[in-house]
């Protein structure tokens, strides 16, 4: 498994939606959720919106430029955040097209 595979999936997440580390790992056929987080952390591309990847419980999680910046970027895209959590029923992007 390579970072490029994760980045290709992350590129598909539309503005105003989020997905989870677990969802991306599942699409890639692995349970290596931390690998996905590491891929986000090492992302060199501006067109790979890693700020749209969050924890499977809806919590924001880490971000290379800080959690505050991640929250700011998500809010700017219309994602509502309450107590550092996102309502996954409303904002989750699933790669199977069932959004």
- Catalytic annotation, residues: 50
CB 21 within 8 Å of CB 37: yes
Q: Are strands 19-20 and 53-54 parallel, antiparallel or unpaired?
A: parallel
Q: Which of 66, 92, 98, 95 is nearest to 80 (CA)?
A: 92
* C-alpha triplet 81, 82, 83: angle, nearest 5°: 120
């Amino acid at each position: 498994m390579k970072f490029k595979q994760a980045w290709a999936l992350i590129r598909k997440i539309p503005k105003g939606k989020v997905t989870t580390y677990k969802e991306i790992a599942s699409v890639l056929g692995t349970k290596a959720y931390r690998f996905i987080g590491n891929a986000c952390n090492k992302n060199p591309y501006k067109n790979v919106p890693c700020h749209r990847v969050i924890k499977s419980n809806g919590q924001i999680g880490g971000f290379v430029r800080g959690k505050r910046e991640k929250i700011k970027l998500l809010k700017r895209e219309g994602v509502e955040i309450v107590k550092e959590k996102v309502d996954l029923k409303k904002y989750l992007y699933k790669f199977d097209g069932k959004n």
